[in-house]
Amino acid sequence: MNDAALIQIVDRAMAEAQRKSGAWIACRPGCTPCCIGAFPISRLDAWRLRRGLEILEESSPERAACVRDRALQWVARQAPYFPGDTVTGALGEDEASESRFADFAEDEPCPALDPETGACDLYSWRPLTCRTFGPAVRLGAGAVGACELCYQGATDEEIAACEVTLDVDALEAELAPEMSGRETVVAFALTR
C-alpha cells in the first residue's frame, strides 16, 4: 500500500494552495464548521483512521478512549438512520441510500473532534476529504471547492489564482487499488 505516497502528494498540493491563498485562508485550530456532519470516506481513509487510533492508543490511551467513546455514541445515535449496512458500516450504493445520505447526521460532530479543544485527535491520519477542504481545490474535472469561511470578499478571479487541481480519486485508485470498495463514515470506521 502506498498511502504515505498518496498523503505526501495531497499534502504537497494543499501546501501550495495555502501558499497561493495566503491571508484568504480562515482555517485555524478551533475553527470546526467543517467537522460537523457526516461525509463518505474511502476504505483507505477508514484504514488510515483506524491505524491512527491504534497509534494514539499507544501514546495517549485516555485521548484514544475518548475518540472511541465518541464514535460508539455517534453510531448508537445514528445507526437507526444510517443509509447502509450497520453491521459492516458500508454506505448503501443505491439511489435511495444516496438520497437519504444527503440529510444524514448533518448536525453530528465528527468523533475525532475534541469538543473541548476544537482540534482533531486524529489529525495526522485524517481522511482525504478533510485534507483537501479549505483552500481552493479543483478535484479532478469537477468544480472548484473551497470553505465558505475562506476567501471572504475575494473575486472569482482572485479565487481562481489560488486554485490547485488534484485528482484524489485517480491517485487513490493508482496508489492503493486494493482498498477500493464501498465507502463508510468516520464513526463506523473507528468502531470496526
Per residue in 83-128, pLDDT tens? 999 999 999 999 999 999 999 999 999 999 999 999 999 999 999 9
What percent of the chain lies above the pLDDT cut of 70? 99
The per-residue pLDDT for range 18-56, each reduced to its tens digit, is 999 999 999 988 999 999 999 999 999 999 999 999 999
Q: HSE of 180 in the Cβ direction (CA atoms, 13 Å)?
A: 10
**What is the pLDDT, as a whole number, of residue 1?**
53
The per-residue pLDDT for range 127-143, each reduced to its tens digit, is 999 999 999 999 888 88
How far is C-alpha 133 from the chain's CA centre?
Answer: 8
C-alpha torsion 137→138→142→144, nearest 10: 50
Q: Residue type at 171?
A: L
Q: Which cell goes with 120?
A: 482533531
As a whole number, the mean pLDDT across the chain is 94
